[in-house]
Amino acid sequence: MAADETRWLDDREQALWRITREFLWQFPSAMDRQLNVDSNMQSGEYSVLAVLSESPDTSLRPADIADGLRWDRSRLSHLLRRMEAKGMITRCSDATDRRGQQIELTEAGWKTIREAAPSHVTFIREKLFDSLNEQERAAFETAIPKILATLEACEPGATCKGSALDDPQECTEG
């Protein structure tokens, strides 16, 4: 896109972007601090424990965990190694695919997530939802999925023109 075609942000959009950027930097740090102080774990560990504990199956393939969290598989692989060393999870052979593995919570993993969940949910409620009135929650509930859908509509390295929600084919290789 040429500079003369750039759709610059107006003053209101620029102000909203700056607030959004600040939120994107500060909220994950605050969440990590809460989990570290209250439960001696990282947010990534909590996320994996939550996905496993909420699954109707007793174990999941690493690819399913990565997909559920929308994470890169190599990032998950490193984290699973650390969590296994801490005794939170165990790996076993996948009965349906001998080359694959299944990840399962250990008793220590179950204990960790059960003890961490109440304070983490309290943090999320107090820092995110309690600060919003009903109209703001509804706007947030509508806006965030739309933004995520736009991000997910294009493959990495592609450039989206216009709204990928309206026309996902508007993505071009970057």
In a domain, 168, yes or no: no
The pLDDT value recorded for residue 171 is: 47
On whether residue 69 sits in a domain, the answer given is yes
Q: What is the pLDDT of residue 152?
A: 83
Each as own residue / partner, the long-range contacts of residues 39-47 (CB below 8 Å, 24 or more positions apart, any chain) are 39/112, 39/115, 39/116, 39/119, 39/120, 41/112, 41/116, 44/75, 44/79, 45/79, 45/82, 45/83, 45/88, 46/113, 46/116, 46/120
The whole-number pLDDT of residue 169 equals 43
Give residue 155's pLDDT. Answer: 59
In a domain, 120, yes or no: yes
Q: Residue 82's domain is classified under what CATH number?
A: 1.10.10.10
Reported confidence tier of residue 174, pLDDT bands at 50, 70, 90? very low
Q: Retrieve residue 93's tokens.
A: 């052979």
As for how many domains the chain has, the answer is 1
The answer to whether residue 110 scores a pLDDT higher than 50 is yes
SS3 59: strand
Q: Is 162 a member of any domain?
A: no
Token pair of 80 as six digits: 């699973």
Where would I find the H helices in the chain? 11-39, 43-54, 62-69, 73-85, 107-124, 134-153
- pLDDT one-digit tens code per residue, 140-169: 999 999 999 998 886 555 555 554 444 444
Given pLDDT bands bounded at 50, 70 and 90, which one contains residue 99?
confident
Domain residues for the domain of 127 are 25-131
Any domain includes 81 = yes
Q: pLDDT tens for residues 117-133?
A: 999 999 999 999 999 99
Q: What is the pLDDT of residues 20-69, one digit of tens each?
A: 999 999 999 999 999 999 999 999 999 999 999 999 988 999 999 999 99
